[in-house]
């Protein structure tokens, strides 16, 4: 049993993380901070946790040492205090974007400012177990993952790993996202009359998660060949990434099955979804709400020499808090699925 605390626990990702940690048999949840909610019961902000904990939010100034510290702060805040946080706990998992990128130039290009703690970047392991499992097992510092980047990376990884991609032509990834991706701070775009019924393109190019895909697929930062477009749809939880990948040479469907099974055949949280009939014959985020699975499927278009690779996940789970808990399990040598056994619901 270890003591874990959460810094910045009032947001949607923080709430999901608290829910998972409360259900984990190896965790004693010690503190949860929130400046605007200090002194209030956790369930006053996260009503689904009523009866699960009597903890109250505390101010960051009262943070005490613990074994493991989760940082769920808005982007740009953790890097200014990382020395303090690292002194408070032997292991740190930061769910923001502050330590996802290894290259300071890539960070400055996509986030528009110099990194405040560049000396820390190489100390963090990118927190996507499917790509960095061995490094995570010995890590003390782990970064979060972008939800759109996670769906894109898991859609693309089998094809890049197998060397099937024509890199100069690259890939175009069309991403549909739910409203929880925007966080819990109200805005005009989240106002119900404006958000309801939405199919709204809000980042046809230039989405920051593109940088994570460039890094994780081993592409050149100055000549990226992966292009993300992101569209908001009427959904609360969920990401659906549809990647169009151009092939270096002709392949058969059997070749693709080999590539996807080689990448994910032993993965506990990636399911290959490619059936010949039924409404769920391709990945669908609807049935993944609350689950840590990423469903991945594909289709071969022989006419154009293209593979359509599809990945679906819950942005708050596999796209954020779920992956963080999965990383924690690896860091401590616990069963990787501990606390993450929920399979999702149908119908919802």
For 75-117, the pLDDT digits (tens) are 999 999 999 999 999 999 999 999 999 999 999 999 999 999 9
Between 289 and 184, the more confident residue is 289
Instruction: Give all domains of the chain, ordered by start, each with its CATH number.
Output: 2-123 (3.40.50.720), 148-313 (3.30.360.10)
Torsion of CA 319, 321, 324, 325, to 10 degrees: -130
Q: What is the mean pLDDT of residues 163-167?
A: 94
pLDDT at 236 exceeding the cut of 80: yes
Cα angle at 345 between 316 and 176, to 5 degrees? Answer: 45
Residue 294 known to be catalytic: no
At 66, list the tokens: 């613990």
pLDDT attached to residue 171? 94
Q: What is the tens place of the pLDDT at every residue in 247-275? A: 999 999 999 999 999 999 999 999 999 99
pTM over 0.95: yes
pLDDT at 224 over 90: no
Helix (H) or strand (E) holding 16: helix 12-22
Q: Which residues contact 242 (CB under 8 A, 6 or more apart)?
A: 155, 173, 174, 175, 176, 308, 309, 310
- The DSSP letter of residue 320 is I
> CA 338, CA 288: separation in Å to the nearest integer?
18
The single residue of 66, 147, 294, 327 carrying the catalytic annotation is 147
Average pLDDT of the residues in 306-321:
98
Q: Please classify residue 310 by burial: count the beta carbons closer than 10 Å to its beta carbon, then call 0-12 exposed, 13-18 middle and 19+ buried.
A: buried
Predicted confidence at residue 170, as pLDDT, reads: 87
The greatest distance separating any two alpha carbons of the chain, rounded to the nearest whole angstrom, comes to: 62
Average pLDDT, the chain: 96
């Amino acid at each position: 049993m270890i003591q874990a605390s959460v810094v910045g626990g009032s947001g949607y990702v923080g709430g999901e993380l608290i829910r998972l940690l409360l259900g984990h048999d190896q965790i004693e949840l010690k503190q949860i901070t929130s400046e605007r909610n200090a002194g209030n019961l956790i369930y006053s902000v996260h009503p689904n946790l009523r009866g699960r904990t009597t903890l109250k939010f505390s101010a960051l100034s009262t943070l005490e040492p613990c074994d493991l510290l989760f940082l769920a702060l808005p982007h740009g805040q953790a890097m200014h205090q990382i020395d303090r946080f690292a002194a408070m706990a032997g292991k740190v998992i930061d769910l923001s974007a502050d330590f996802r990128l290894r290259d300071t130039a890539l960070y400055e290009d996509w986030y528009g400012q110099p990194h405040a703690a560049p000396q820390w970047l190489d100390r963090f392991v990118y927190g996507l177990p499917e790509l960095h499992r061995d490094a995570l097992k010995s890590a003390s510092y782990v970064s979060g993952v972008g939800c759109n980047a996670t769906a894109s990376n898991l859609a693309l990884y089998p094809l890049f790993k197998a060397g099937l991609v024509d890199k100069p032509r690259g890939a175009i990834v069309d991403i549909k996202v739910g409203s929880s991706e925007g966080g819990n701070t109200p805005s005009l775009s989240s106002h119900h009359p404006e958000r309801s019924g939405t199919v709204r393109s809000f980042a046809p190019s230039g989405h920051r998660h593109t940088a994570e895909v460039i890094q994780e697929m081993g592409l050149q930062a100055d000549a990226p060949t992966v292009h993300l477009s992101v569209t908001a749809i009427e959904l609360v939880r969920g990401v659906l990434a549809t990647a169009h990948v151009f092939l270096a040479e002709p392949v058969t469907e059997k070749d693709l099955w080999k590539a996807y099974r080689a990448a994910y055949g032993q993965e506990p949280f990636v399911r290959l979804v490619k059936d010949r009939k039924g409404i769920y014959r391709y990945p669908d985020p609807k049935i993944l709400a609350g689950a840590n699975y990423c469903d991945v499927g594909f289709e071969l278009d022989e006419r154009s020499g293209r593979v359509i690779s599809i990945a679906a996940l819950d942005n708050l789970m596999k796209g954020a808090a779920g992956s963080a808990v999965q990383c924690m399990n690896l860091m401590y040598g616990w069963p990787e699925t501990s606390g993450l056994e929920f399979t999702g619901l149908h119908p919802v």
